[in-house]
A and B are shown apart, each in its own frame.
Chain A
Amino acid sequence: MATTGTSSTPRRTPGISAAAPPPRRVTDSSKNSSRAFNVVCGVVLGVFAVLWLIPSLWAIKTSLTPNSVSAVGAEEILRHGGLTLEPYANILRGGAIWDWYLASFFTAAVTTALTVVFASMSGYALSRLQFRGRGLVFVLMLAGIMIPSQVLVVPIFQMLDAVSLLNTYWAVILPQIPYVIAVFVFKQFFDGLPKELEESARIDGAGFWRIYRSIIMPLSKPVVSAMAILAFVNVWNNLLLPLFVVSNPELMTIPVGLATVQGSFGQRYSDIQASSILGALPLVILFLLFQRRIVEGVAGTGLKG
């Protein structure tokens, strides 16, 4: 992100909510034209927003339409007035999606926990400890950011095969733990924390581990939660790695499940849309619960898959 580099504190919430108020101390006429301009802006944006919502609404509408209607085509779906939950019942009764939910929750939660703990430990060491090899670690981590982990899917598969970890949750979890950028995000945040508390704790004889656990981490809740959510979303959404390291339906994550079995639905379009919405639902809920943190995390780090 453009500004994270030099600022030693994490950037403030780029609140969409905090829209810039119109300039003060301006003449009446320009105030009016400015207000009119804002109304036009609102209308244009509203149109785009509606346009952007159409695909999702279409999927929802289809998922509430019987399969026999959606098989005929879009016009029939539009014309159909009734609503049915049958497609959702089909998917939920089918059972597979419960396995996928479990796999996604388990792998995402474990990966996130390990990533946050390990990355913040490294970030702490880089921020606070002076040690031989610090420069080397720094450079290696920097290089790590540039390594495109997706391109490594073939050798990672071979490695997991060699140690008989294919078709386990660990095959999904372990390779996703080194989320290098998190180390830097933590380091930057720690750099911005005042050192006085630690100094007095050190005088009291506290070791680094205790300082990290009892002083640093409690002060770092915003960055921890932002990183945790981002890591969680990334792992949850990852398709490439789990697609190849997990082949058993009962171990598949949501994206792999959706990708693999769509063919078996045949022309049950409503069921397919229902499965897509059920697959997306946990993230929509996550968004509604943590939208501020998510937006902040994305904007503050420039993280993109």
Chain B
Amino acid sequence: MSAPTITQPGVAASQPLRKDRMRAGDTKPAWLFIAPFALFYVLFLIWPTIYMVVASFFNTSIVQEGFGSFAGFGNYQEMLTRPEFWSAMWHTLQFTIYTTPPLVVLAFLFAILANRVRRGQALFRLAFFVPFILPSAAIALIWNFIYTPASGLLAVVQGWFGVEAPSPVLGTPSIAMVGIAVTTVWWTIGFNFILYLAGLQDIPRELYEAAALDGATPWQQIRWITIPMLSRTTTLVVLLQIIASLKIFDQVYLMTGGGPGIATEVALGLITTSAFTDFRVGAASAASVLLFIVIVIIAVLRQLIDRAQERRA
């Protein structure tokens, strides 16, 4: 939970350069103002990116000095032909598929409802939003306990509903990712909830008033005003979720460690295991570069979509 994503940072909005304001005297102070941030930007974003690309072509080991022997495209070849790599990418996709619909539909539903209810706002905020700002480790400890096979809360509740000997959620390959997805939906829905609420505030009230005068039912108002007016927020929510899914690490590391077997292993899990457990920085870098490319493509796509929507709006 650290990398920021932004929508449209307003290139279009930056003022046109007026020649008379182009004071040459600004250049030195401007760079001094930018220098501290730029230093860290270069040191911890640009330089690691370059290092990563270079190391991906070597058999770099964490316990050996230097880059090690030249590997050419060997690390890439290994990753691209390795079933674990593709299964990690597939698990990422799987996670996206499991989490996005509930995160969109439920968050939308909660926001619409919360927008109509005047009492209990504090409760809703507490219930839906607070989990989002808690550390993943605390979330995982809570849910691991709920998922405890046989004696955990979930198993007991399943027992009440007549499910005998329910499959252990995190221990069964076919449903372990579902367990992680449920936890994630619970954890992060507050973020989308807030985005939708904000979106709702931007819908001009007159639209509803006009519709009400025309005799539109609340449902019709939602169907024909709210949903279309929130389409931009929905696009944003979906794209952010895809990017977040690509970077998923915490929940998997904490809840299943990628298991059972490799049934829930994801890209960042594969990368960190390669680097820090297997000591293979070169191979980990190659996997990092591949993941990096995918994420950047989607991030660029997101900017393009956002800009297109803005133009239409």
Q: For A44, what are the chain B residues with a Cβ–Cβ distance below 8 Å? A: 113
Q: Which of B11-19, B80-88, B173-181 contacts A (4 or more CB under 8 A)?
A: B11-19
A118 at the interface (CB under 8 A from B): yes
Question: How many angstroms from the CA of A25 to the CA of B206 in the assembled complex?
Answer: 11
State in angstroms the CA–CA spacing of A145 and B8 once bound together.
11
| Distance between B237 CB and nearest chain A CB, rounded to angstroms | 9
B125 near A291: Cβ-Cβ < 8 Å: yes
Contact indicator B213/A26 (Cβ below 8 Å): yes
Identify which of A52, A180, A255 contacts B128 (C-beta below 8 A): A52
List B contacts of A185 (CB < 8 A): 6
**Could you tell me the distance in whole angstroms from the C-beta of A109 to the nearest C-beta in chain B?**
16
Q: Is A157 an interface residue (CB 8 A)?
A: yes
For residue A103, CB closer than 8 A to chain B, the reply is no
Contact A305–B3 (Cβ < 8 Å): yes
Assess the A151–B6 pair: CB atoms within 8 A: no
Stretch at the interface among B71-79, B90-98, B163-171, B242-250: B242-250
**Residues in chain A near residue B250, CB distance under 8 A:** 239-240, 255
Query: Are A6's CB and B13's CB within 8 A?
Result: yes
Looking at the complex, which one of B9, B15, B33, B141 makes contact with A145 (CB distance below 8 Å)?
A: B9
Q: Determine whether the beta carbon of B137 is less than 8 Å from that of A258.
A: yes
Q: How far is the CA of A145 from the CA of B303 in the complex (A)?
A: 11
- Name the distance in Å between A195's Cβ and chain B's nearest Cβ: 11
Which single member of B125, B151, B275 contacts A295 (CB below 8 Å)? B125
Is A205 engaged at the interface, CB distance under 8 Å to the other chain?
no
In this assembly, does A214 line the interface, its C-beta being within 8 Å of a C-beta of chain B? Answer: no
Interface of A is mostly: helix
Chain A residues with Cβ below 8 Å from B198 are 1, 3, 11, 14, 299-300
A-B contact pairs, 26 of them (CB 8 A): A4-B8, A5-B7, A5-B310, A19-B118, A41-B113, A42-B117, A118-B40, A122-B36, A125-B29, A154-B52, A156-B44, A156-B48, A174-B44, A181-B5, A187-B9, A237-B136, A239-B135, A240-B2, A277-B138, A279-B135, A280-B134, A280-B135, A283-B135, A287-B129, A295-B194, A304-B240
Additional pairs, 11, CB under 8 Å, beyond known A42-B113, A177-B40, A208-B26: A18-B201, A41-B116, A42-B120, A59-B145, A129-B29, A132-B27, A180-B45, A208-B29, A237-B133, A255-B138, A262-B141
- B residues with a Cβ closer than 8 A to A are 1-15, 17, 21-23, 26-27, 29-31, 33-34, 36-38, 40-41, 43-45, 47-49, 51-52, 55, 60, 62, 106, 110, 112-121, 123-138, 140-143, 145-146, 148, 150-153, 155-156, 186, 188-189, 191, 194-195, 197-202, 205, 208-209, 212-213, 215, 217-218, 232-233, 236, 240, 243-244, 246-247, 249-250, 253-254, 268, 271-272, 275-276, 281, 284-285, 288, 291-292, 295-296, 299-300, 303, 306, 310
Residues of A within 8 A of B (CB): 1-6, 8, 11-12, 14-20, 23-26, 30, 33-34, 37-38, 41-42, 44-46, 48-50, 52-53, 55-56, 58-59, 62, 72-75, 78, 117-119, 121-122, 124-126, 129-134, 137-138, 140-142, 144-159, 161, 174-185, 187-188, 191, 207-209, 212, 233-241, 243-244, 254-259, 262, 269, 272-273, 275-277, 279-280, 283-284, 286-287, 291, 294-295, 298-305
